[in-house]
Amino acid sequence: MSSDFIEMISYLSENRFLRKVQWISSNKIPCAILFAPAIPQNYRQIIDSYKSIGININHVCVLTDEHKKFLQPADGETVVNINEFPNLPVKPKFIFVLERYFGTAFIDYFGKFGTNMFFLPYINDAENQYNFYIKYLPELYDVHEMLADDESKKIFRAAITGRITRLMQDFIYTSEYEYFLNGFLPEEGDIAIDGGALDGGTAIDFLRQGAKVYSFEMDANNYKNCLAPAKEYGFTIENLGLSNQESTAFYNSNGAGSRKLNNNAPPPPGGLVANFIDLDTYVERKNLPRVDYIKLDIEGSELDALHGAAKTITRWKPKMAICIYHKPEDLWTLPKYIKYLRNDYEFQFRHHYCDRREEVNGNSHWSFLKQLGVSYRTPSEYDMILYCR
């Protein structure tokens, strides 16, 4: 086993979230909690839950003075807005954030003052995830060794580490935009499959690369949003989800987070139903001469879609950009299945910032980022991509 991977295992044992919380508690390390952009109604319960396990929450940070009015601090707590944080005489060593995108946007802002950021710090969940990853270390190591470059290996180790320590600073992000890693892009004349169209933005990007694009969108609302750009720019949009076979299934409609429900899940309110198709059948039915590129961001159904594209992948070995973060086991099940189909695939791995430009431009809370010089490209535990060629 490589020395870097062994070093990661050692680091995880000592720095996993439970151990870190025990250290913070026993040493009375000053900590803060960030409520932004909104203050939850149960804010007192949240703060007290940290204190009940010995965490010294002495600062509560909010967005503006207006937000401060909604908080009633307990003894030993000081409420500050983000602009006041630099003037604190003693800065918290750690800050806990609950909001997955907006809150984590401030990682570098707080980092300037030596304050590290924890995300979604639920002790039982974090410890269960640590045990789960330790159980599958051989599989993780197999994938680590499949990666073609040192940068991929470093980012892959950081992805495992950040998920277990829950420290945002432990992740490593790449400068490239999501799906756009040099050497893994659709090219002029390629036939590209866009799995998870959302609003058609990625399809348009692929068109600009010179590709002919077939986009798939399960969610009816998202599909409607794609109709106008599909007509304007000239890509094919299908109101279908990609899966391992033709079928219908319930789904949960939630914009970019819309996802197919498993067969055992109860139907959502309103009983939304979508149609699904496997890519192999679609390719045959549409008489496509080949497939040169596949992108999949379908909220946890990536493995099913790969099963449904087995013939296509085996025959043409398309370049692929596969989201590999929706399920913990995606980190090994997806690359190992692709390698099973074609042993000659080369893999690279990147963790991307999440592009929140539309929110920044259209929402008063997000526009606050501009005032502080905070980037609209926010870090998260998501947006990990396996690139294949």
**How is the chain split among helix, strand and coil, in percent rounded to 5?**
40, 20, 40
Helix (H) or strand (E) holding 143: helix 137-146
Is 214 in contact with 192 (CB distance < 8 Å)? Answer: yes
- The DSSP line for 44-87 is HHHHHHHHTTT-EEEEEEESSHHHHTT----TT-EEEEGGGGGG
Domain 191-388 CATH (choose: 3.40.50.720, 3.40.50.150, 3.40.50.1220, 3.20.20.140) = 3.40.50.150
- Strand stretches in 142-257, DSSP E: 191-195, 212-216, 236-238, 241-242, 247-252
pLDDT at 372: 79
Strands 354-355 and 377-378: antiparallel
- The DSSP line for 298-358 is -TT-HHHHHHTTHHHHHHH--EEEEE--SSTTHHHHHHHHHHHH-TT--EEEEEBPEE-HH
pLDDT at 1: 84
- Sign of torsion over alpha carbons 300, 103, 381, 56: negative
Cβ burial, residue 36 (10 Å; 0-12/13-18/19+): buried
Which CATH topology does 3-125 take? Rossmann fold (3.40.50)
pTM score: 0.94
Question: How many Cβ atoms are within 10 Å of 45's Cβ, its own excluded?
Answer: 9
Cα(110)–Cα(96) distance, integer angstroms: 11
pLDDT at 327: 94
Q: Which of 53, 51, 58, 59 is nearest to 80 (CA)?
A: 59
Helix (H) or strand (E) holding 94: strand 94-97
Task: Enter the tokens of residue 92.
Answer: 């918290």
| Domain regions of the chain by residue span | 3-125, 191-388
pLDDT at 366: 72
Intrachain domains 3-125 and 191-388 with the same fold = yes
pLDDT at 361: 63
Residue 68 φ/ψ, nearest 5 degrees: -60, -30
Is 268 in contact with 221 (CB distance < 8 Å)? Answer: no
pLDDT tens digit at each of 389 positions of the chain = 899 999 999 999 999 999 999 999 999 999 999 998 888 899 999 999 889 889 999 999 999 888 888 888 888 899 999 999 999 999 999 999 988 788 899 999 999 999 999 987 667 788 899 999 999 999 999 999 999 999 999 999 999 999 999 999 999 999 999 999 999 999 999 999 999 999 999 999 999 999 999 999 999 999 999 999 999 999 999 999 999 999 999 998 988 889 998 877 777 777 799 999 999 999 999 999 999 999 999 999 999 999 999 999 999 999 999 999 999 999 999 999 999 999 999 999 999 999 877 666 666 677 777 777 888 888 999 999 999 99
